[in-house]
C-alpha cells in the first residue's frame, strides 16, 4: 500500500496475505472469463513522436466506456522494460473509441501495447 510503513515482519506478512487473498479472488473471477473465449484482444502502438506533455491518446473502435467491460493493458515483451522504465500507464476509458496513456519519462521508442477487453456482469444487478 502506498504510504504504508510496516513496523514488524508480522504486519508485512499480514499485508502480503491480504494482497494474496485479493489476487486469488480476482483470479477466480478472471480465469473463467478467459477460458470462455469471449474476449476480444487487440494491439495498439504508442509512437514515440506522439507524446505531448507526457500523454497521448490512441483511437480504437473496440474501446467502450462502459462498466460492462474491464480492460487489461500490457506491454509487448519486446518493450516491457521500456514501459516500466518510463512509467507508461493507461487511464480508464471514459470516451468510446479512445484511451489515453501517460508516462513519467517520455519514451524514445515506439511501444507496442496489448489490450484485452473482458465483458463482466455488473455487481449491482438484481436477479
* Residues 6+ away with beta carbon under 8 Å from 6: 12, 15
Q: Which residue has the cell 519519462?
A: 105
pLDDT digits (tens, 9 = 90+) for 38-73: 567 899 999 999 999 999 999 999 999 998 888 999
- For the whole prediction, is pTM greater than 0.85? no
- DSSP H helices, 1-127, are 9-36, 80-86
Range from 16-30, 37-51, 74-88 that averages highest in pLDDT: 74-88
Amino acid at each position: 500500500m502506498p504510504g504504508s510503513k510496516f513496523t514488524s515482519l508480522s504486519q508485512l506478512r499480514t499485508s502480503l496475505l491480504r494482497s494474496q487473498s485479493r489476487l486469488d479472488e480476482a483470479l477466480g473471477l478472471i480465469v473463467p472469463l478467459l477460458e470462455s473465449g469471449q474476449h476480444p484482444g487487440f494491439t495498439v502502438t504508442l509512437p514515440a513522436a506522439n507524446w505531448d506533455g507526457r500523454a497521448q491518446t490512441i483511437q480504437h473502435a473496440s474501446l467502450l466506456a462502459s462498466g460492462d467491460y474491464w480492460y487489461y493493458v500490457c506491454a509487448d515483451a519486446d518493450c516491457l522494460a521500456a514501459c516500466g522504465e518510463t512509467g507508461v500507464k493507461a487511464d480508464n476509458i471514459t470516451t468510446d473509441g479512445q484511451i489515453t496513456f501517460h508516462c513519467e519519462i517520455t519514451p524514445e521508442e515506439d511501444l507496442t501495447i496489448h489490450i484485452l477487453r473482458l465483458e463482466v456482469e455488473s455487481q449491482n444487478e438484481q436477479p
